[in-house]
Structure 1
Amino acid sequence: MKKFLQSLLVAFSIVLLATTFSNAQVLEWRLANPTFSSTDPDGAGPATGVATFTLQIHTLSGTINNITGMSTGWSWQLANAMLPTVPAPAPTCGTNSVAQPSNVTMSSTFAALGFSYNNVNQCSGSIDFTVGGRTFDRRAVGTVDGGTINLSTGWVDVFTVTLWSTTTNSNAGSVMINSGAGGDNSPFSTYSVSDAEANEYVVHSRTFGTPLLLVAGAPLPVLFTRFSALCSESGTSISWSTATEQNNSHFEVQKSTDGSTWSNIGRVAVSSLNSNSAKAYQFTDKLGGVAQYRIKQVDLGGQTSYTDVVRISCTDKAFFVNIYPVPAKDKLTLVVGSDKTTKMTLRVLDNSGRVLIN
């Protein structure tokens, strides 16, 4: 029996395969904290109000040390906003780049480390593109440099931008930001982040598919409070929560394996059309794998918004085998397990390699 058991163990040697998803560290940036004031900033001039927003950045995991340069900016709408004309030196839409324009204020964190926003052109190139149902025709480009900073998973403010509105309905339109070179969400080759050794990092944008509204008291159709993905026995478990929902139609769970092409893998009904209380939702991707996920929210008017993107590796588990008791006398129990239904072949060999059971 002992020889038989040894043969059986040899025949059922299992190699557990582990897949490691390893990429260079990745960053994300977003435009956040919008404000709007209807106070007229220029008297008889064309402006009707003042809007601000802040550029923020963080890593998806871990810490990236010694970041020294960041080529970045934003896109905006000339039909709804203008560059402030005071204080001097006033930013302009000319072809010349300027250093530290007066409508861009470095955050206290970046300023304390010696950073400033240089070589800035707030109307760079000729652009005309539509995203999230809104058309953008101006793009700002500049370089944040002059210091060194370590970035981690906590969001940190980079700078705050001031624009003047030119509309009569208390808004300055929308702003958005492309991803950096190599990122998802329409990467812009000029945007990048680099460290002291000239290593460049991929930067994804979280304010692309859903531009940031610069509107007085603009209600969000859905306020997301949590979004996560975890590996489970059934696949990848995706869950999210909301604090409020207004005119919400449904959610779509989207998946990508390359960060640029997204597919809908599920639709989740809302708990109620309008809600001012916390709601929780869950969806399981039974295929799992190495993938990126996001939630697309759709309101009754067809407008959409997105969560941030989460990345996770939930690869298939290998077989496992339990044999007991060891040693055995006249009875041996063999347990073979798998995370999904699998076709298997059982062979029992003796020490000479002769097949006893097939």
Structure 2
Amino acid sequence: QYIVRGYRNGVEQVTETVDFPTSATYGSVTYTRNVNYYLGGTLNFSSTAEWKNIDEVRFYWNDNFGMVGTLKSIDFEPAITGTLPVKLLDYKADIQPNGFVKVQWSTTQENNNSHFLIERSVSNSNFTVIGRVEAKGAEANHNDYSFIDEQPVAGTAYYRLIQYDLDGRSESYKILAVEKPLKTLLSIYPNPVTGNGFTVTLGGVITTPVRYTLSNIAGKMISQGTISSQQQFIPLSSALPGGTYILSTSDGQRIKLLRR
């Protein structure tokens, strides 16, 4: 068998599986074999909607024993009939000085464009929609767009842009990875501590527990544990004497804590 996959902007759009007869049609792909399959054959792609605007085709083989291998990947400019709804430029995502993530993109052509959706994932799969930006329309030759993620995840996050036509069709663009340093500790309350503990408040969305260690000024460990939510209460022993203590976290932060 041959496995033929078509991509647009790095996103798989269509897949066809082709067997080894002399000649056959599979969905939108027609295969014509030469003298024997070792010598290869010709693949003809029909003009069905799935294969329009494809800019990369990847070929794979699959034998009778379950072995799968890659034959070739070909990049090319799609032969397009009609006009693409959107021609995208300058698509990027960056951490801002305030810790937010800014997704930016520009268009030089818009036709029948409705809106864009911005999705995010922490695993490069199972994306969740976090924002929507309406299309500015075809009046201008160049449109700039942006979206601010005000609650970015700590660590690596993956962003994906999807464009929707007025008729409901959509096109996904390549996935962008953004690394946000795990500087998540913001505050301790109350400080000084007069009761049986204190509350730690973390910024952003916590996807991985943050380890903490509470030590006295001489470096002796008093307690340790993990923080797994944006606000978490950390208890203190009633026998802990008054003085100065240091709360250290696994992302390299240290905060001075006063006990009265």
TM-score by length of 1: 0.39
Q: Within 1, Cα distance between the matches of 2:26 and 2:139?
A: 35
Aligned residue identity for 1:297: Q
CA displacement, residues 203-238 of structure 1 (integer Å, 9 cap, x when unaligned): xx9x9xxxx996653311111112111112142111
More strand, by proportion: 2
Q: Please tell me the root mean square deviation across aligned C-alpha atoms, in Å.
A: 4.4
Q: Which residue of 2 aligns with 1:82?
A: 30
**1:225, 1:242 within 8 Å by CA — same for their partners in 2?**
yes
Q: Within 2, Cα distance between the matches of 1:258 and 1:179?
A: 27
Q: Which residue of 2 aligns with 1:227?
A: 91
Q: Within 1, Cα distance between the matches of 2:161 and 2:173?
A: 5
Identity over aligned residues, as a percent?
Answer: 20
Q: Which residue of 2 aligns with 1:174?
A: 50
User: Would the alpha carbon gap of residues 190 and 310 (structure 1) be closer, same or farther in structure 2, given more than 3 Å must change?
Assistant: farther
Higher relative contact order (CA 8 A, sep 6+): 1
Residue of structure 2 aligned with 1:291, choices 154, 157, 162: 157
Runs of at least 5 residues in structure 2 that lack an aligned partner in the other structure = 18-24, 61-66, 194-215, 219-240, 245-257
Aligned residue identity for 2:130: I
| Aligned-pair CA distance for 1:279 | 1.0
Residue of structure 2 aligned with 1:190, choices 68, 89, 92: 68
Q: Which residue of 1 aligns with 2:119?
A: 254
TM-score by length of 2: 0.52
User: Would the alpha carbon gap of residues 315 and 286 (structure 1) be closer, same or farther in structure 2, given more than 3 Å must change?
Assistant: farther
Aligned residue identity for 1:82: T
CA displacement, residues 255-308 of structure 1 (integer Å, 9 cap, x when unaligned): 112222111111111112x24511111111122222111111111100000111
CA displacement, residues 32-66 of structure 1 (integer Å, 9 cap, x when unaligned): 79xxxxxxxxxxxxxxxxxxxxxx9xxxxxxxxxx
Q: Within 1, Cα distance between the matches of 2:59 and 2:131?
A: 26
Q: Which residue of 1 aligns with 2:180?
A: 314
Q: Equivalent residues in 2 for 1:1-358 (5 A)?
A: 31=7, 75=16, 78=26, 80-83=28-31, 91-92=32-33, 97-101=37-41, 103=42, 163=44, 165=46, 171=47, 173-175=49-51, 190=68, 216-232=80-96, 233-272=98-137, 274-275=138-139, 277-289=141-153, 290-318=156-184, 338=186, 342-347=187-192, 354-355=242-243, 358=259
Runs of at least 5 residues in structure 1 that lack an aligned partner in the other structure = 1-28, 34-55, 57-72, 84-90, 104-121, 123-162, 166-170, 181-188, 194-204, 320-337
Q: Within 2, Cα distance between the matches of 1:300 and 1:263?
A: 22
Q: How many residues align?
A: 174
